[in-house]
Amino acid sequence: MITNIVFDLGNVLVSFRPEEYFANNGYDKASRDVIINDIFKSPEWLAIDNGDITTEEAIEKLSERSSLSRAEITSVFNLRTKIIFPITSNTNLLPGLKKRGFKLYYLSNFPGDIFDEVHNGYSFFKYFTGGIISARVNASKPDKRIFDILMDKYSLTPGECLFIDDSETNVKASVEAGMKGFHLARPEELPGKLDLILGNSIIV
């Protein structure tokens, strides 16, 4: 029986689509490609998520090899909270799920500094019992350790947890950790999929 619902954040409850953001804000394709490849697909980006390096250290390392200047890289990092915004059709489901008795948790690969801004800026976090952010525990999905950390911290039984993520790899890892899981290919699929899995209409 599912008693706990564990949400990834990016592209489940909050939108994080850097390429789309830059395309909508006047960056040409060549510039977008450099930004995405040099920053968002870099080892440093993953290291920030994992809490291994700070944003400042990442900017320093990136500026040593990227064709982007240090100022340009810093500017992109400063845009992160503008790139991220709530998917209200999904966050609006949280109060109804809580009212039905489910305990809600988040489990996300996220830089610590940006998470603080997002957490403090959006009221939907009040519906969560708790959660784990990768940068705070030095473990990132799909590493099994991050699922174990969540289970241990909140004394959860994996088989009673439903995990939702936009990454098939992460969902597979959650199932291997004993949880039930589903891959959310598109954010707009969340209400229908929750209805199918949990039964009954979701109270909003």
pLDDT, tens digit, 9 for 90 and up, residues 66-107: 999 999 999 999 999 899 999 999 999 999 999 999 999 999
Domain with CATH 3.40.50.1000 in the chain: 4-15+84-198
What average pLDDT does this structure show over 105-120?
Answer: 94
Interval 141-165 mean pLDDT: 98
Distance CA 1, CA 21 (A): 40
The fold for domain 4-15+84-198 equals Rossmann fold (3.40.50)
Side by side, which strands form the sheet with 180-183? 130-133, 103-108, 4-7, 161-165, 180-183
pLDDT of residue 81: 87
SS3 31: helix
What are the tens digits of pLDDT across the range 50-59? 999 999 999 9
pLDDT one-digit tens code per residue, 28-44: 999 999 999 999 999 99
**In 107-167, where does DSSP find H-type helix?**
112-121, 134-137, 144-154
- Residue 202 predicted with pLDDT over 70: no
- Check pLDDT > 60 for residue 11: yes
Q: What pLDDT does 200 receive?
A: 62
pLDDT, averaged across the chain: 95
User: Of 174, 37, 45, 116, nearest to 184 (Cα)?
Assistant: 174
The Cα 168–Cα 184 span in angstroms is 8
Residue 19 has pLDDT above 50, yes or no: yes
**Among 1, 14, 38, residue whose Cα is nearest residue 109:** 14
Q: Summarize the confidence of residues 105-127 as an average pLDDT.
A: 95
Give mean pLDDT, residues 158-186: 97
Question: In the predicted model, is pLDDT for residue 204 greater than 60?
Answer: no
Contact status, residue 160 vs residue 1, Cβ threshold 8 Å: yes
Tokens of 10: 């990016």
Can you tell me the mean pLDDT for 159-184? 97
Q: Specify the DSSP class assigned to residue 79.
A: T
